Chain A
Amino acid sequence: MSRGAGDRGLGGGSSALAEEAFRLLVDSVEDYAIFLLDPRGRVASWNAGAARIKGYRAEEIIGEHLSRFYAAEDVARGKPDIGLERARADGRFEDTGWRVRKDGSLFWAHVVLTAVHEAGGKLIGFAKVTRDLTEQRLADEALRLSEARLAATLTSIGDGVISTDAEGRVVWMNPVAERLTGWITAEAIGRPIAEVFRIIHEETRAPVESPVSRVLRDGVVVGLANHTALIARDGTERAVADSGAPIRIDGGPVQGVVLVFRDVTEERLADEALRQSEERLRLLIASVDDYAIFMLDPTGRVITWNPGAQRIKGYQAEEIVGQSFSRFYPEEDVAVGRPKQVLAAAAEHGRTEEEAWRVRKDGTRFWAHVVVNAVHDARGQLRGFAKVTRDLTQRRQAEENERALIREQAARAAAEGAERRLRESEERYRESSEQLSIILQNVDEGIVVHGKDGRLVYANDAAARTWGFSTGPDLVTARREDIRPRFEITDEDGTPVPPEEMPPRAVLRGETPGPRLLRIRNRTTGGQWWALVAASGVRTVDGEPYLAVSIWHDLTNQRQAEERARYLAEATAVVTSSLDYETTLRRIADLAVPELADWCGVDLMQPDGTLAQLAVAHVDPAKVELARELNRRYPPDPASPTGAPNVVRTGKPEIYADIPEELLVAGARDDEHLRFIRVLGLRSAMCVPLVAGGKPVGAISFVSAESQRRYGASDLELAVEIGRRAGLAIDNARLYRDAQQAIRARDEFISIASHELRTPCTTIQLRLQSLQRSLERQPQQAVASGRVAHDVKVALDQMARFTRLIDQLLDVSSLAADRFKLEPAANDLGAIVSEVAARYAPAMTEAGCELSYQAPLRPVTGNWDRLRLEQVVTNLISNAIKYGPRKPIELRIEQSDGTARLTVRDQGIGISEHDQARVFEPFERAVSVRHYGGFGLGLWITRKIVEAHGGAIRVQSRPGEGSTFVVELPSDRDEEHAA
């Protein structure tokens, strides 16, 4: 475990023991993956939790990069590195998202990444704590959905529902329960159930044990009890049927009870009334003989018979009771199953009515008007059918019109009834929703409920806020035409979503739409948000949806983060796609439009300090031309206190969330300029520096106009990041250019080196081949020994030259690799210079150079590497000869204050001021390389040797007037020497 994390857990200066304890603790944690990353994001430690959650063993994963834990598309978007960068910058980075296990499966992870620093502040890595939230996430989603459904269902059903805790105390009740008990939820909560739900035996008047206590005691579902009366808070008595069921989680102990009950008073009264009227009815029916009135059992067998039936159909009661009513139908109707259809239709709709041919006992047919009513008992159980048949054979035509009229009226009445019921249901819903809304107000998700006609009947505050209202009721009462035009609702891909495609509408049409991702843009402010909308329906008993409940889950933050990450990833890809940074910057400008801006411009600082517009992008090419024209006519003033010039000067970004008229007027040079700017319709703007090599070199401007988008802090953050990455393009291009130059210099050097190495080889080869030729021509005779001796000497001289070149190459390689070692000893500079000068005397004579030499009488001594100093003197003298033939050369040695100074002066071609800075660099030479022998490394090697001795070398020169090289070396002091 890292020292950094250990310190944090156990206190500063913790002992090794504490550190060990901490390590054991981490290793044993299984619920959290806790591990360390090195500064580059590679896994450095691993614990049991990490092994369990991610599936890797320590030895498999240590040393791997953390992008292993990310899905390929996240890696492509640079997410792993973004996390590291954020942790590096902010100290901590927290994220929730999908991660990948070793087996490729995904899990929903909560990740905290903490930068770990040494005591000195140096970053030594990151501590990463990951928790697998997959199950929790799935469970949370399921729970939220089922709770919403349950609440909607329980508040809309016709039964009273009370739930209690394990002590039998009320925790929740629905509006029906409130009405029946006379208690409101707020007052009932926490009271014993027996107080709120007081029940007695209807006849004995003795208190009855509440189903709740029986459920709590026995842990089973308790069914309906008969003859139970509920005494409401105000003393009202109602006959109720009740039942209770235990609430358990996964078969565990009983956590509470759900009590469901309903008012059966009306059912009782209905039963009683029926009993009393049945007898009267029987007598009445028995006396009717204009109508056949009889009962069928549920299967269609005749149960009762009246005189009218007897008269119309011709059967006696004893003949027909117990027989199927299908015998009243003509054969062809029976063949197609008509009798059964009639009963089924009556059972379904409660009633059927038709006029059709019927058959009498004697086989003759008559035109009958038949009404079949389904008969249900108080419990709603189908008991049979009442059938009323009338012989219309003679009055058929006369009654036709009347019946049509009646039917029409009936239909209208039915429709009105249905509508009334629906209104009542909605009314009831509105009441109950007040209760529910208290709960729903505390939910982050926007929740709205639409009625059958599509009108909004409920909205919580969270929903209202997203549409620009402060409370749910404000939104509910607002006129739709005042809201809808202000917003543009589109799909993920920007396709507009019309109102009829919205999930609640689909639900109300009876469809079951899946959740839908929507983008909502405020046309006025330009602000936009994302929501995942899931809608489900509350249905009537016959399955007809009459309410649509929609949950709007705000995904704006995730979407924006994703969009930014995607945009950044694209920008990064663009940055690395080309080494021509001008192309890259143009593409970055193009990329910004229209996602981030309506306009994007890139300005680059020119060598003269002015800004040049490199790129400008706009979706509309005509506008691009306009912007270019503007820039041509009114180039930015480098001294401007705002905008790109200021951003480049200060390196600080600027943001104008709004661009007020005053700002436009202040920024305009003249009326023409102001008119120009106004045409652009600027709304909001940002300008960020383009930083390369640590310095601002330009600016990128993002401007919003047509889209009405208003920039905020997060937009600026993104823009700054783009500026930073775009700067990388410039850095990359420069590095590439430098690398190309280095490669060219290297190639050039190789070419020079091969040229130089071949030169001595040419002489050696010519000499040796010439000797060989002589031997071949006169095999019998000795070749003149003088000639042989001369040729061998020349060849050996060239071999020595060749060897010197090789040594120089080796020096280069050791200098470049910093493997350069001195072997210092006490040496006399005068002795070294004299020796080298003597060695070069013949060359100087040949070149026509006259040497003058000045040195103090006393030796000038120091602790120097003799061979290396010989090399320095050799290089300087041979350069003087090479570049100053036929001209005098001066050598001077001086000593003062512990410094020995060697001056070598020639009167040759000289070096321009510009080239003086380069001559001490490798592969640089003031004159065209190829015209003078050597590698062009001599002065560089000379400088390296002098500097390795703690000394310095400099040159004074003017073209055509010769050069003076001065070498200064630390030496023994004069007085030391004198002493």
Chain B
Amino acid sequence: VKLRRAVLVVEDDRPIRDSMVQVLQDEGYAVLVAIDGSEALGLLRDTPELPGLILLDLMMPTMDGFQFRAEQLADPRLSSIPVVVLSADVNVFARAETLHVQGVLKKPLSLDALLGCVEQHCG
């Protein structure tokens, strides 16, 4: 198994989060998790080795995806980490455009699309 870069999953819904962790680990990725934006920021700032991709849910309590993305871009160390947004919102494509992210995955997630996307950034 070749060494792959870690993926950070930021998702408040536990069943989804667990499922994503499992399918990504099945593919050999190292997976970091955070239940909201502030936890994700804390985790990134404490980690010496940055993940190759952030899978970011938008609707979360405490700090949502939008706030997280703004903080990330403002932090020179973190700003270059690619971000792919996950959302069940029908208008997410329009809203994600303002976030300048690298991709959008629509919920319910297709496993192929998810893995393809992660492969592209961390494979």
Binding site for B on A (CB under 8 A): 751, 754-756, 758-767, 769-770, 773-774, 794, 797-798, 846, 930-933
Contact = CB atoms under 8 A, between A and B. Distances in A.
B89 A751 contact: yes
Given A758-B88, A764-B108, 18 more contacts: A751-B90, A754-B90, A755-B59, A758-B107, A758-B108, A759-B13, A759-B107, A761-B108, A762-B108, A763-B16, A763-B18, A765-B108, A766-B23, A766-B109, A770-B26, A773-B111, A794-B15, A931-B60
Contacts, number: 72
Interface string B53-96: 00000011110100000000000000000000000111100000
B16 A762 contact: yes
16 contacts: A751-B89, A761-B108, A762-B108, A762-B109, A763-B18, A763-B19, A765-B111, A767-B19, A770-B23, A770-B111, A794-B15, A794-B18, A794-B19, A930-B59, A931-B61, A932-B61
Contacts of A770: 19, 22-23, 26, 111
A46 to B, nearest CB: 56
Contacts of B13: 759, 762-763, 933
A889 B91 CA distance: 37
B110 interface: yes
Nearest to B13: A759
A756 B87 CA distance: 11
Contacts of A797: 15
B118 interface: no
Contacts of B16: 759, 762-763, 766
B7 interface: no
Interface string B14-50: 1110111011001000000000000000000000000
Contacts of A769: 23, 110-112
Nearest to B35: A885
Given A770-B23, A794-B19, A762 B61 contact: no
B115 to A, nearest CB: 9
Given A751-B90, A755-B89, A766 B19 contact: yes
Q: Which of B13, B88, B110 has the most chain A CB atoms closer than 10 A to its own CB?
A: B88
B110 A759 contact: no
Contacts of A765: 108-111
Contacts of B89: 751, 755, 930
Nearest to B14: A846
Given A758-B107, A763-B15, A766-B111, A931 B20 contact: no
A846 B62 CA distance: 18
The 5 closest A-B pairs by CB, nearest first: A769-B111, A758-B88, A761-B108, A763-B15, A766-B19
Contacts of B91: 751
Nearest to A757: B88
Contacts of A933: 13
Nearest to B87: A755
A760 B15 contact: yes
Nearest to A755: B88
A797 B59 CA distance: 22
A667 B17 CA distance: 76
A930 B88 CA distance: 11
A884 B75 CA distance: 31
B105 to A, nearest CB: 10
Contacts of A766: 16, 19-20, 23, 108-109, 111, 114
Q: Which of A754, A767, A769, A846 has the most chain B CB atoms closer than 10 A to its own CB?
A: A769
B71 to A, nearest CB: 16
B88 A754 contact: yes
Contacts of A758: 88, 107-108
A78 B20 CA distance: 68
A762 B18 contact: no
A752 to B, nearest CB: 9
Interface string B99-123: 0000000011111101000000000
A453 B61 CA distance: 100
A773 B112 CA distance: 9
Nearest to A882: B61
Contacts of B23: 766, 769-770
Nearest to B106: A758
B111 A931 contact: no
Contacts of A755: 59, 88-89
A767 B20 CA distance: 9
Nearest to A774: B26
Nearest to A750: B90
Q: Which of A767, A794, A931 has the most chain B CB atoms closer than 10 A to its own CB?
A: A931
B33 to A, nearest CB: 14
Contacts of A930: 59, 64, 89
Contacts of B15: 760, 763, 794, 797-798
A751 B26 CA distance: 33
A591 B60 CA distance: 56
Contacts of A751: 89-91
A790 to B, nearest CB: 9
B59 A931 contact: yes
A760 B18 CA distance: 12
Contacts of A756: 88
A754 B88 CA distance: 7
Given A797-B15, A931-B64, A762 B26 contact: no
B9 to A, nearest CB: 12
A885 to B, nearest CB: 9
A808 B107 CA distance: 21
A769 to B, nearest CB: 4
A791 to B, nearest CB: 8
Contacts of A762: 13, 16, 19, 88, 107-109
A933 B22 CA distance: 23
A758 B16 CA distance: 11
Nearest to A843: B14
Nearest to B59: A930
Nearest to B26: A770
Nearest to B11: A762
Contacts of A767: 19
A930 B13 CA distance: 13
A330 B7 CA distance: 140
Nearest to A763: B15
Contacts of B64: 930-931
Nearest to A798: B15
B118 to A, nearest CB: 13
Contacts of B60: 931
Contacts of B112: 769
Contacts of B14: 846
Nearest to B111: A769
A794 B110 CA distance: 17
A767 B61 CA distance: 25
Nearest to B60: A931
A767 B16 CA distance: 9
A921 B60 CA distance: 23
A431 B112 CA distance: 118
A755 B91 CA distance: 11
A154 B108 CA distance: 104
Contact of A761 (B20, B26, B107, B111): B107
A770 B19 CA distance: 9
A129 B61 CA distance: 71
A435 B58 CA distance: 102
Contacts of B18: 763, 794
A760 B107 CA distance: 10
A932 B89 CA distance: 14
A979 B59 CA distance: 55
Contacts of A763: 13, 15-16, 18-19
A764 B111 CA distance: 11
Contacts of A759: 13, 16, 88, 107
A358 B6 CA distance: 146
A908 to B, nearest CB: 11
A803 to B, nearest CB: 15
Nearest to A761: B108
Nearest to B89: A755
Nearest to B36: A931
A321 to B, nearest CB: 125
